[in-house]
Structure 1
Amino acid sequence: MLTAWLIAFAFTQAVEVPIYLWATGGRFGVSFLASTLTHPVVWFVFPYALLRAELLLGVDFGLPGYVAMVAAAEFFAWLVEGLWLERFGVRRPLLMSLLANGSSLSLGLLSRALFDVP
């Protein structure tokens, strides 16, 4: 599981850091830490919460549950990363976060469909 997370984290950083570098005027630390703050929560906490809810309720939410979990996780990442960027004076931080997270989500889903990675 840790290897899968590291691959997904590297993929996310490869997509999002260049966007954040552009948005921050080249501030690497700010750019790299944006996704670093949220990715472990998105990868580990949100799926765990879905699993716990299924076990507690005795229900398998199936694909609709997975889609809802991904939507909630991406909303979390968008908001937290946008607030992070705002803290450093980035113009239109929520839009930049939407661009970065939308790009990594879209490319990640495409990569998973084509290559089963990340």
Structure 2
Amino acid sequence: MTRWLAAFVLTQVLEVPLYLRSGAGWRTALLASTLTHPVVWFAFPLLSRVGVGYWGMVIAAETFAVGVEALWLSANGVRRAFAWSLLANATSVAGGLLIRSLFGWP
């Protein structure tokens, strides 16, 4: 659970400022990743049980996250919600992979 919490905090640190820049309010910005991160972290790895490899799981999980967060942003009045969601999620994936490759964390 500690690894998930660290990854969640990192995601929030990277994504929330971008969502705020999009014009989203604090509540909308904080809840975007809160809605998707637990599903991405705990449910999507189960795809390995049916033979989906790591990168297939990452693609499926991030497609889910971008879609759900874009819908959330749009429902809360953010213009160009898909573009903002794609940018925020690409930033957090890249940041997470970079930190993981450099430090083995989280």
Interval of TM-score (by shorter of Structure 1 and Structure 2): over 0.9
Root-mean-square deviation (CA, aligned residues, Å) is 1.1
2:28 to 27, 30, 35: 30
Tell me how far apart the structure 2 counterparts of residues 37 and 47 of structure 1 sit (CA, whole Å).
17
4+ runs deviating over 3 angstroms: none
User: In structure 2, what is the equivalent of residue 81 of structure 1?
Assistant: 69
Contact 1:21 1:28 in 2 (8 A): yes
Unaligned runs of 5+ in 1: 55-60
**Larger Rg: 1 or 2?**
1
Q: For each residue in 1:70-109, what CA deviation from the matched residue of structure 2 results, as whole angstroms up to 9, or x when unmatched?
A: 0000000000000000001111000000000000000110
Q: For each residue in 1:20-51, what CA deviation from the matched residue of structure 2 results, as whole angstroms up to 9, or x when unmatched?
A: 111125x1100000000000000000002323
User: In structure 2, what is the equivalent of residue 45 of structure 1?
Assistant: 43
Number of residue pairs aligned between Structure 1 and Structure 2: 106
Query: What is the TM-score normalised by the length of structure 1?
Result: 0.86
Tell me how far apart the structure 2 counterparts of residues 39 and 81 of structure 1 sit (CA, whole Å).
10
Unaligned runs of 5+ in 2: none
Partner amino acid for 1:41?
Answer: V
Query: What is the TM-score normalised by the length of structure 2?
Result: 0.95
